[in-house]
Structures are given as structure tokens and as C-alpha cells.
Structure 1
Amino acid sequence: MKNSKAILWIVLIGQFMVVLDATIVTVSLPSISTSLGFESQGQLQWVINVYVLLFGGFLLFGGRAGDLIGRQRMFVIGLALFGVSSLVNGLAQNPETLIVGRAVQGLGGALTSPAVLSIIIVTFEGVADRAKALGVFSAVTASGSASGMLAGGVLTEWLSWRAIFLVNVPIAAIAVIGALRVIPNSRHRVAGERNRIDLPGAVTITAGLLLLVYGIVNAADWGWGSAKVWWIIAGAAALIALFFVIEARSRHPLVRLGIFRHRALAVTNTTMFLMRAGMFVMMFFPTLYLADVKGFSPIQNGLAYVPWPVAMFVASRFAQRIIAKAGPKATLLPGLVILAGGLFALSFSDANSSYAAGVLPGMLLTAIGAGLAWAAMFLTASVGVQPGESGLASGLINTSQQLGSAIGVAIISSIAAAYTSDLVGRGAGANEALVKGFDRGYLIGTFVMLGAAAVALFGLRRTDGRHAPAPRREEVPVTNLEPALGD
């Protein structure tokens, strides 16, 4: 497609900004708390939790809406929401304004992120070209999370915590202008039919995912034995079950249930969920270890993460060549095993370990493994579906990522904290107990990652993801949109 490189870099600007904001706030929380006068640690935690909540809850809706009303349009709407809410956050004078602004940021990210992947899928039709584009996309996505630590530390220490939000405003504006000029507003249209968004399905799945993520992010504070946690999770399960009943009967379903018959897509989503559940502790445990045990400053902590995106980018470039010759499975399986090895290496750290000996080797191994595995999963999940459902496939794989991250961090962090408390109760020193808790978390992540490798090993064929399907339905650029609501 003409301008394909320009399209790729425009959408990657938006993607990088969205994933960066998921972690850039972390190192700035103490400054935010002091400046705005947060009343408690629990209230402050909602600066992060509300973003995760809205982002995870609206991904499926955002993905399918892009298919039906236009991918460029959803990308632009999402970026506009993200940019405006970033401005509000940067100027916030009280905790309530910031929390509401972060919620809108999460919604903007949920509309933007599936559109990014969907635009890449419909722009790069050949498997080799798509593999290259998805390799860069994967590197940008993962490096954005790691880079957020550094950017947050630098901006907060040299300027102000407000800068971590205000910097998004010009970036979002540039991406919006570029998208309007370069990216066609393609959407899925079936001849003789009027596109509709399944509102009952959208409401039930969005409410169910919101409730599920809400229960998960609060489980660490309330305790996994809390009845409140399990009532919320049960309510989420009921809404999600109702969603599947609605989809089975709807003439215009938000999620066509037949898409799960694509074995490669179903297996890849399961693998992605497990991979993110096992590896996302890499974004938190080393940060806490370096800050609380080794005394690193925010900037030092951010710099400690620089090898991660660099190593991942190099590995993803190498993976593109292997995928082009041998298919995605040839990089996915080794990548997951290397990831497991990196987590296992981290589980041997102790309170006296240096950064070079205790953190860096495991960090590099996880980065290399992620670089090999990530693009392979996105390619396998996208090649098995028709272009008209690329947004849906994008929403599914992004939802698997978010739920895997949220559930994995919540469960593994709770287990690590419980083990730390037990060790302290038995007379261990605070730092020693904290690090041993982290080590146990890394070990659990190792087994989860090996589970992901087993799913991929037995669920995927060598040929999966090596050939794109011929499109069955018409993809058209749209300028005048028909009404798209109602069922």
C-alpha cells in the first residue's frame, strides 16, 4: 500500500504514547501525592488502577468499533481523548480531577491500541511484510513500558510530575494530524447490509471486564480471601456469560463466536495471556528491588531498564528473519523458553546482589525472549482471520495482554507479599524477606511461562501464520459514515 511506512510510523507514535503512560506514572507517584494532597496510599493507587480498569474494559468494544465505523476514525478519537485528558491531568489541582483524567486516558488508550494493530494488519497484507511491521510494533509496545520508568524519572526529577502528562499533548496532536492526512479510514462493509454495533453485547462485555479488572486490582489490598473480591469476580463472570448468550443470538454480534474456531487465534490468545501473566512482574519487582533495597534514585532506576528495550528490539529484528523463513512457531517457542530462563535467573537474587549480577542477566534474557515471542504471537493471531475482523482480533489479543498482566501481577504480588510477611514473622530482616518474596514471585512466573510454551508447543502447527487468508468481504475507505448504533 502507498504510504505504508508513513502509516506504520504514525500509528506507532500513538501506540508508544499509550503504553508509555501505563508505567511513566509509577515513579512519579510520591511527587503527585505530595503535590495534590492524596489522603491515603489506597487513593493514590487509583491513579494507576483507574487507567488499567478503563483500558482493559473497553478494548473489545474499541476493536470492533474500528472495524465497523472506521479504523482511522477510532484511532483519531482515541488519540484526541488521550491528548485532552493528558492536558487535564497536567493541570490538575486535586486528586479527583487527576483520577477522572486518568480514567479518560484509559478509555482513549482502549480505542487507540486495537486500531493501531488493526491498521497494521490491513495495511501490510503479505506475511513477510506484516511480520516486519509487527516486529517493530512489538518492540515499540514492549520498549514503551520499560521506557516509561526512565522517562518518568527524568521528567519528574528535572521538571515536574506534570510534565509526564503535558508531554503527551503535542505528541497526540502530531499523530492526529498525520493520521488525518495519511491513513485511509477503512472499515468492514457487507454488501446489502447496514453496519451496526451490538449495544447489548458491548454493554455486557465491557461491564464484565470492568468488574473483573476492578476485583483483581483491589484483591491485593482486600485480600484474595475477601468475600467482596469473590462477589465482584462472580458478578463479572455472570456478565461475561450473559455476553456469550447475547452473541449467540445476535444478528450483528460484537464478537462473532465462530472466530474462536480459528485454532491458531484461540491458542495464541491463551499463550499471550499466560506469557503476560508470568512476565509482567519484570516491570515491578526489579523497580522495587533497586529502589527499596539498593537505594536507586528514580533516574538511576529508569536507566537500569534501558538494556531491556534495546535487547528486545535487537531480538525482534532477528525474529523477523526467522519468521520469514520458518514461520512464527520457530521464534515463539524459543522465545518463551528464554523468557522462562530469564525469570528463573532472577529468582536467585538476594539482598547483597549487585545490579550487574542480580538483575541484568535475567533482564537481558527476558528481553531477548520477549523480542522473539511477541511479534510471532501477533502475527499468528491476525493471519487466521479475515480483514473485516482485524479490529476484533486486535481487541482480543490486546484484552488477553491486559487481563494476563492484571491477573498475573495481582496473584504473584500477593503470593510474594505473603511469603515476605511470613519470613519477617519468623525473624528475617526486612530487605532479606522482601527479596525472597520477589524470588518466589519470579519462580512462579517461570512455571507460568513454561505453561505458555507448552500451550504453544501442542496447540500450534509449524504452518500457522505462514499464509494470509484471501479476503472474503469488502474493505472500503469511508468518508461519510452511516449511523452505526443499535441492533
Structure 2
Amino acid sequence: VAPNLGVLVAGRFVQAAGSGAMAACAMALTASVPPERRPQVFAGFGATMAIFSASATLAGGVFTEWVTWRIALVLPALSLLVVPLCLAGAPARKNSGRSMDLPGAALLTLTAMSFLVLIQSSALALSTPLVVATAAVLVLSAAGLTWRTRGSDSSFVPRALVADRVFLKAAVIGIGVYGGLFAAMYAVPQLLVRDHGWSVLSVGVWLLPGAVVGAVLSRLAGRLTAGDHGNRLLAAVSLAFAAALAAALAGSGVLLLILGASLGFSAFSVTQVFTTALMSGHIEPARRGGAMGLLNLTFFVGGGVGSATAGALAKSMSLATALGVVALFPLIAALVAFTLGRRTP
């Protein structure tokens, strides 16, 4: 019901905060299930993520074309309907007993926000003074966050977590996969609509097979996490995703574009399943929720970096070439996944 663009953007800020909290809570709840139920729960979690993410373009296109774009904006509110069902089955456990580090949370928020704004400064056409001010905020907030992290292990970003090699590798994998997916979802619809004359509805329909593939692979990943082969599946899917994006360097063929976006959804869902399973067995229960929240934040910042990179590169080269360059994101994720097995100490 926003009457103007200012109110609409302000509402999107609030909605983004809520969506981020929803995603973090979903990962934390999934990671908290008993070990004997994890493969089944992870499989369903990944399949749901794959289906909804891959069908989002079609749903948005249907509402925009047939009804109004305003309905498409409030689709995330549907997740509220499922919250009571999730809470009913959530395990009861004690938290760490420590109070929330609000200054640390504020510093982390400022660091992430200023970083994302700064890397998109060219696309946003920001003035030089504003860019300098944003850079200053980034440096100061990052320095403050580093100081708080080093000073205490009870900070919002725990020192032990930052030094945890498994957590850092999982973060790099998520950044690579999300960066590639966000870049693909920025570039692929534009290329199909602009260069090949497709409608938004056509793009959405052709992305649906990716939802099916992603659901199947995520269910497979949910079963494999009980052993030590989940990282191999993730690495293989990420490598295929990177190859499909890199093929755009030779031209933006329709099949390659659809394949690249579809593999991106598959890599996205498998990443969710594998990293959630990995952290659920690696992080102690009292710290698990916070760790999953930080991991989720890192993933989405990586996604923002991927889309911003594609947008910035498109100013000096073709959009298809920029998409091919961004293939480095999932390629790095694949290489790291090969080194991260279930038994990594």
C-alpha cells in the first residue's frame, strides 16, 4: 500500500531485516534437530529451498503480469503462516546465558551495510563525498568490530568462531555459491528478455526444471551428510555451475543461460543442506544459533558482492562476459568444498 517510492524503499529495509532473520532462524532450527533425524530434515529443508527459490521468478511474473506488482512484494509474509508449525516442533534447550553484545551487533551491521553500498557505488551513481564517507564508516566500523572480537570471546562475533577453519571454509563456500547465483539472477533474466525477446513469465517457466533438479540433489545431499561424501556432491554441483557461467564467455546461448541459472539453484540448495549439517555437528548447541546466523549473513553479503560485481563489470564489457567472469565465485566454492569433508577436524 506504499503511496510513493520512499515509503516503498523504507518498507523493503524492514522486510529485508525480517527476511534475514527468518532465513537465519530456519537454518538454526534445522541444525538443532536430533542427529538421527538430521538426514531426513536436511533433505526436506533443501528441497523446499530449491523449489521456492527457483519458482520465485515465475510467481513474481504471474502476479506482476496478471494482477499487480504490489502482491509480489509481500510474498515473503507467507513464511509467517508456517512459524507456529516450526515452533511446535522446535527442541527446547538453554542458551549460552550471556547477554547480547548490542554494540558488536551494531558494528557488524554498519560494516556489512557500508561494504555493500561501497561496492555498488558506481551502479548507484554515488557522489565522491558520499563514497568517501561510506568508506570511512566501513573502515571505522570494521576496526571497532575487530577490536571487540579480539577483546572477548562473548562478543557478537566470537573470537573462537572467527578462528574456526571449518566455519571459515563453510563461509567461503557460501559466498562463492551465493555470489554466483545472485549474479546469475541479475544477468540471466536481462539477457533472455533483452537479447532473446523472452517474457518474464517465459523465464520463470524455464527455471522450474531447475527447482526439480535442486530438490532431488538436496535430498541426496541430506542423505550423504550422514557420511563423508556430501562435500563431493557440493563440489561437483558448484563446479558444474561455474562451468555453465564460464560458457557465457563464448556467447549467451539460451540453453547455457537456463542451465547456468538452474545449476545455481541446485548449488544453492545443496550448500544450505551441507553447511547446516556441517555446523550442526561441529558447533556446540549453546553457540549454534549465533553461528548459523553469522553464516547466513556472510552468505547473503557474498550474494550482494556477486550481483554488484556483475553490475560493475557490465559497465565496461558485455553482460554475458561479466557473467562469465563471475564464474570464479562458484569455482572457488567448488575447490574449497573438495577440501572440506565430514571428518574435517
TM-score, length of structure 2 as denominator length: 0.88
Question: Which SS does the other structure have where 2:143 is aligned?
Answer: helix
Question: Which SS does the other structure have where 2:69 is aligned?
Answer: coil
Q: Which residue of 2 aligns with 1:463?
A: 343
Letter in 1 for 2:308: A
Q: Distance in 2 between matches of 1:318 and 1:377?
A: 14
Q: Rate the CA distance shift 1:267–1:284 in 2: closer, same or farther, 3 A.
A: same
Does the CA contact (< 8 Å) of 2:180 and 2:306 recur in 1? yes
Q: Which residue of 2 aligns with 1:362?
A: 260
Deviation by residue 1:315-354 (Cα, 9 ceiling, x = unmatched):
112223333343432322222212212212344334xx4x
1:113 is aligned, of 23, 26, 32, to 23
Q: Distance in 2 between matches of 1:462 and 1:313?
A: 22
2:296 is aligned, of 398, 401, 413, to 398
Q: Rate the CA distance shift 1:339–1:131 in 2: closer, same or farther, 3 A.
A: farther
2:9 is aligned, of 99, 103, 108, to 99
1:118, distance to aligned residue in structure 2 (A): 0.9
1:227, distance to aligned residue in structure 2 (A): 6.8
1:370, distance to aligned residue in structure 2 (A): 4.3
2:34 aligned with 1:125? yes
Q: Rate the CA distance shift 1:198–1:135 in 2: closer, same or farther, 3 A.
A: same
Q: Distance in 2 between matches of 1:323 and 1:181?
A: 25
RMSD: 2.7
1:454, distance to aligned residue in structure 2 (A): 2.6
Does the CA contact (< 8 Å) of 2:231 and 2:341 recur in 1? yes
Q: Which residue of 2 aligns with 1:162?
A: 70
1:180, distance to aligned residue in structure 2 (A): 5.5
Q: Distance in 1 between matches of 2:18 and 2:60?
A: 20
Letter in 2 for 1:455: V
Letter in 2 for 1:273: I
1:284, distance to aligned residue in structure 2 (A): 1.8
1:364, distance to aligned residue in structure 2 (A): 4.2
1:386, distance to aligned residue in structure 2 (A): 0.5
Larger C-alpha radius of gyration, 1 or 2? Answer: 1
Q: Distance in 1 between matches of 2:76 and 2:288?
A: 27
1:318 is aligned, of 213, 220, 228, to 220
Q: How does 1:416-455 map to 2 (within 5 A)?
A: 416-419=314-317, 437-455=318-336
1:404, distance to aligned residue in structure 2 (A): 0.8
In the TM superposition, structure 1's runs of 4+ consecutive aligned residues that sit over 6 Å from their partners are none
1:142, distance to aligned residue in structure 2 (A): 4.2
For structure 1, list consecutive stretches of 5 or more residues without a partner in the other structure: 1-90, 420-436, 466-487
Q: Which residue of 1 aligns with 2:231?
A: 329
Question: Which SS does the other structure have where 1:282 is aligned?
Answer: helix
1:385, distance to aligned residue in structure 2 (A): 0.7
Deviation by residue 1:245-301 (Cα, 9 ceiling, x = unmatched):
123334742222112333211111122112222332221211001111222222222
2:180 aligned with 1:278? yes
Q: Rate the CA distance shift 1:246–1:445 in 2: closer, same or farther, 3 A.
A: same
1:138 is aligned, of 36, 46, 49, to 46
Q: Distance in 2 between matches of 1:102 and 1:248?
A: 34
Q: Distance in 2 between matches of 1:457 and 1:302?
A: 32
Where relative contact order (Cα < 8 A, 6+ residues apart) is larger, the structure is 2
Q: Distance in 1 between matches of 2:308 and 2:123?
A: 6
Letter in 1 for 2:231: K
Q: Rate the CA distance shift 1:273–1:366 in 2: closer, same or farther, 3 A.
A: closer
1:374, distance to aligned residue in structure 2 (A): 4.0
For structure 2, list consecutive stretches of 5 or more residues without a partner in the other structure: none
Does the CA contact (< 8 Å) of 1:328 and 1:380 recur in 2? no
Letter in 1 for 2:244: G
Q: Distance in 2 between matches of 1:174 and 1:372?
A: 25
Does the CA contact (< 8 Å) of 1:380 and 1:464 recur in 2? no
Q: Which residue of 1 aligns with 2:95?
A: 188
Q: Rate the CA distance shift 1:275–1:285 in 2: closer, same or farther, 3 A.
A: same
Q: How does 1:346-385 map to 2 (within 5 A)?
A: 346-350=248-252, 353=253, 355=254, 357-385=255-283
Deviation by residue 1:14-48 (Cα, 9 ceiling, x = unmatched):
xxxxxxxxxxxxxxxxxxxxxxxxxxxxxxxxxxx
Letter in 1 for 2:240: I
Q: Distance in 1 between matches of 2:174 and 2:76?
A: 28
Q: Distance in 2 between matches of 1:105 and 1:367?
A: 22
Deviation by residue 1:397-439 (Cα, 9 ceiling, x = unmatched):
11121111111111222112311xxxxxxxxxxxxxxxxx233
Q: Distance in 2 between matches of 1:132 and 1:264?
A: 23
Q: Distance in 2 between matches of 1:397 and 1:295?
A: 38
Q: How many residue pairs align between the two structures?
A: 345
Question: Which SS does the other structure have where 1:326 is aligned?
Answer: coil
Q: Rate the CA distance shift 1:444–1:234 in 2: closer, same or farther, 3 A.
A: farther
Q: Rate the CA distance shift 1:283–1:384 in 2: closer, same or farther, 3 A.
A: same
Letter in 1 for 2:34: E
1:216 is aligned, of 102, 111, 119, to 119
1:178 is aligned, of 79, 85, 93, to 85
Q: Rate the CA distance shift 1:249–1:389 in 2: closer, same or farther, 3 A.
A: same
Q: Distance in 2 between matches of 1:388 and 1:358?
A: 44
Q: Distance in 2 between matches of 1:386 and 1:202?
A: 21
1:98, distance to aligned residue in structure 2 (A): 1.4
2:191 aligned with 1:293? no
Letter in 2 for 1:349: G
1:387, distance to aligned residue in structure 2 (A): 0.8
Percent identity between matched residues is: 23
